[in-house]
Structure 1
């Protein structure tokens, strides 16, 4: 007799749903739920369950973290959320998540390149992605390990002077975070590091050899 995979056992236990009812609830085929029950839920499936019920993706996949968000989080200038998902009915933090990418992500933002999923603050666009700052080039505005949310649908023509953007130069595998400077005309755009102590203070003309990948719209601050 086949045992239910632990990832799905957790979901069935917490939701109290049968496989067919769960499939209907998260809008997947009953066969998908059957397959997950045998082999373990996929990341995409875990995301759907998390969006519907507000569980932590980490908890679904590993069982090692709390079922609900295990620390108070504040998004600077965006929204505040608390541990109890029922405490603030107008905050949809527990119903949406965004993909977390490494800095060498593919420009098409393929799901195959997603390293994890994180909770999306309510005022951050659904089409955003998340990155974790890696170095001091943008300190003190953005420090290593800061989690930033990027609007990937914004066009370069919508950017304003001093915006923080993610760009990548042709032929370079990793993207970088920089501050935008607009010159005397809207067509003159430059990027620079924000940290005045960063070794490379070069101001770069944002020409056709650079691809603008998105604008920073929020920074997550966590309190342990």
Structure 2
């Protein structure tokens, strides 16, 4: 049976965070957090609540492993006060003209755990008026979408999109079901919405297999990009 320490380590791995991140988020001391992770002590009181929020999970599941309460937060499942605060926070950023850039690992969790975006912001870019408050940025890695998208360029992603709205050639952020990191692909639509495949833009990319859309989860559609030259 898993211990509290096991569950903390599990969520740290899934969210790609380290003890220093937990220290900044909860205010707990380095030795205290090390004791939680090693299993010598358990978080309690306000620390337990802060830790569960940061790890995007239920406090009861984190502390006692109640499987019925192992609710990795989904937006619809959040307590009303938390969900409202979550939405208000995004709107507040939008009103300030700010869009968060997150990691590709955090993006993979966005659909199921949108609170992740608030805990894993790596930078900020100007918001675009036509995008929703939930829009976020990603920094291009690798050359699978070369030459249109080069490493270190920044793309804007709109998560408020459904399969029925997609058009042939749209650029998508998706997550393969067996991977923990989001991916960037172009959609190819055949004879109908049930005939959808994904491919890289780079014709020289070694992995040119057409991937069925049914094998992935849709995270968002790429709207545009922001290029920084220095």
Q: Indicate the TM-score class for this superposition, using the shorter chain for normalisation.
A: 0.5 to 0.7
Q: 1:194 aligned to 2:197?
A: no
Q: 1:109 aligned to 2:114?
A: yes
Q: What is the correspondence of 1:115-130 to structure 2 with a 5 Å cutoff?
A: 115-130=122-137
Q: 1:147 aligned to 2:154?
A: yes
Q: Quote the Cα distance in structure 2 between the aligned partners of 1:140 and 1:94.
A: 34
Over aligned residue pairs, what C-alpha RMSD do you find? 2.3
Q: Which residue of 1 aligns with 2:188?
A: 181
Q: Which residue of 2 aligns with 1:222?
A: 228
TM-score of the two chains, using structure 1 as the length reference? 0.55
Deviations 1:9-67 (A, max 9, x none): xxxxxxxxxxxxxxxxxxxxxxxxxxxxxxxxxxxxxxx8xx79xxxxxxxxxxxxxxx
TM-score of the two chains, using structure 2 as the length reference? 0.54
Q: Which residue of 1 aligns with 2:139?
A: 132
Q: Is the CA contact 1:124–1:218 (under 8 Å) kept in the aligned structure 2? A: no
| Matched residue SS, 1:222 | coil
| Matched residue SS, 2:227 | strand
Shift of 1:100: 1.0
Q: Quote the Cα distance in structure 2 between the aligned partners of 1:167 and 1:112.
A: 20
Shift of 1:187: 1.4
Greater fraction of residues in helix: 2
Q: Quote the Cα distance in structure 2 between the aligned partners of 1:221 and 1:94.
A: 23
Q: Quote the Cα distance in structure 1 between the aligned partners of 2:178 and 2:229.
A: 38
Q: Which residue of 2 aligns with 1:213?
A: 219
Q: Is the CA contact 2:132–2:160 (under 8 Å) kept in the aligned structure 1? A: no
Shift of 1:162: 0.1
Q: Which residue of 2 aligns with 1:97?
A: 98
Q: Is the CA contact 2:153–2:228 (under 8 Å) kept in the aligned structure 1? A: no
Structure 1: state its 5+ residue gaps.
1-47, 53-92
Q: Is the CA contact 1:151–1:217 (under 8 Å) kept in the aligned structure 2? A: yes
Structure 2: state its 5+ residue gaps.
1-88
Shift of 1:223: 4.5
Q: Quote the Cα distance in structure 1 between the aligned partners of 2:95 and 2:163.
A: 31
Q: Is the CA contact 2:99–2:135 (under 8 Å) kept in the aligned structure 1? A: yes
Q: Which residue of 1 aligns with 2:26?
A: none
Larger Rg: 1 or 2?
A: 1
Shift of 1:94: 8.6
